[in-house]
Amino acid sequence: MKSVTSLGLLSMVLACSGLTYADENRKQKSLSNDFVIVIHGGGGVRKRDQMTAELEAAHRAALKASLQAGYDILAAGGDGISAVEAAVIVLEDSPLFNAGKGSSFNRDGVHQLDAAIMDGRTSDAGAVGVVQNVKNPITLARKIMEDTPHVMMAGEGARDYARSAGLEMVAPHYFWTERKWDSLQRRLQQGTKYGRKPRQASLSGRPADVGQWGTVGAVALDRHGNLAAATSTGGREGKLPGRIGDSPIIGAGTYAHNGTLAASSTGLGEYVIRTVSTKLMSDLMAFKAYSADDAVRESMQRVIDLGGGVGVIAVDKEGKVVMRYSGRGMYRGFVRQDGKFVTKIYKD
C-alpha cells in the first residue's frame, strides 16, 4: 500500500473540514436570490453626548449610500468583489471616515494609505501599503490582485503602478480635512507618539484609545455563493512614517474563504497583526467547527487580552451576519436581498 504523503494527509483533513483545494473552491454555485453585504466605518465613534443629530444623520446617510452601491451590484447578479469595492469607494470618498478623503495624518502630517481586497472563491488577494496620491486605494488593491502576479505593493512603486494603470490620482491636499488636522495637533501635544497607550487604557477599564479606530470595510455573499472582503484605512493617527497596519495584511485585517467566512477588521492594527485575527476566525470554523459568531468572539478576545481594541464585520457561507466591537460603538450596517437597509452606530 502506498504511504500517505503530507500533501495527501492535508487534503484529507481539508475535505473532512469542508474545505477543498482551489479547483473545487473555484466552482460556481447555481444563482440564488440570497445575498448580503455588510459594511463598517470604523470603531472610533464619538461619545453619545458629542454626536449631534446632524452628525448622526450624515454618518447614517454615508453608510446607506455605501450599502446601496454594493446592493445594486449584488441585486443585478454581480460578484461580491465588485460589490465590496463599490461599497468601500463610497466610504473612501466621504470625509467622515478614516480612509481615502478623510484619512488620518501620520506624525509628519502626511497621508499614507493602506487597503486590501480578497476573493473567497479563488483565494486571490490584492493589497497596497503606505501609498500616496491614489484617490481610491481599494481600486488599486483590486488592480494589483487582477492584473499583476503580486499580492501587495507599497509606497512609490504602488503609486507609480497606479498612475501607469490609469487610476485616478489626486494632489496631497485632496485628503486634508480640518477635523483630522486638528486631531493630530492635539495628539502631538499630548507628549507621546500615539497618545494614550492602549494597554494602559484597557487595564483602566476604559475603551482602548478608540479615537484611532477609523478603518472602513465591506464583506459580501453574492448570488453565486461566493464571499469577498475589502478594507481601507488611513491608519493610526500620528503613526511613524512608513508604518503599515493590519488592513492590507491578508489574514490580519482582511480575509475571505468560501468554505468559512469573509471578515474585515477595525482596531489597533499592531494587535490584530500579531493574532492573525481574520485568518484565525476562518481556521476556528474550518478545524474546530466554530460558528462564525463564536469564531469572531474568540479572535477578538485574543486581541483584547493583548491590550488592544477591535471591531469586526463578517458574513459566513450561509449568509449569517456578525458585527461585533469592543469599544463604545462602531459605524456599521447591512442589507440583504429584501432591500431592508440596517445602519447602526451604538449598542442600540
Helix (H) or strand (E) holding 315: strand 310-316
Answer for the pair 311, 42: CB distance below 8 angstroms, yes or no: yes
Answer for the pair 200, 308: CB distance below 8 angstroms, yes or no: no
Give the burial class of 4: count Cβ atoms within 10 A of its Cβ; 0-12 exposed, 13-18 middle, 19 or more buried.
exposed
107: which residues sit within 8 A by CB, 6+ positions away? 188, 193, 238, 239, 240, 241
5: annotated active-site residue? no
305: which residues sit within 8 A by CB, 6+ positions away? none
Q: Give the three-class secondary structure for 234.
A: coil
Q: Give the three-class secondary structure for 153.
A: strand
Which of 139, 215, 231, 275 is catalytic? The answer is 215
Closest listed residue to residue 144, CA positions, set 124, 130, 123, 169: 124
Answer for the pair 217, 262: CB distance below 8 angstroms, yes or no: no
196: which residues sit within 8 A by CB, 6+ positions away? 190, 209
For the chain, the residue count is 348
End-to-end CA distance of the chain: 61
What pairs with residue 332 in β-bridges? 40, 344
Say how far residue 15 (Cα) sits from the centre of its chain.
28
Q: At what angle do helices 80-93 and 137-147 cross, to 10 degrees?
A: 150
Separation in Å, CA 205 to CA 202, 308, 326, 330:
5, 12, 12, 18
Active-site positions?
Answer: 215
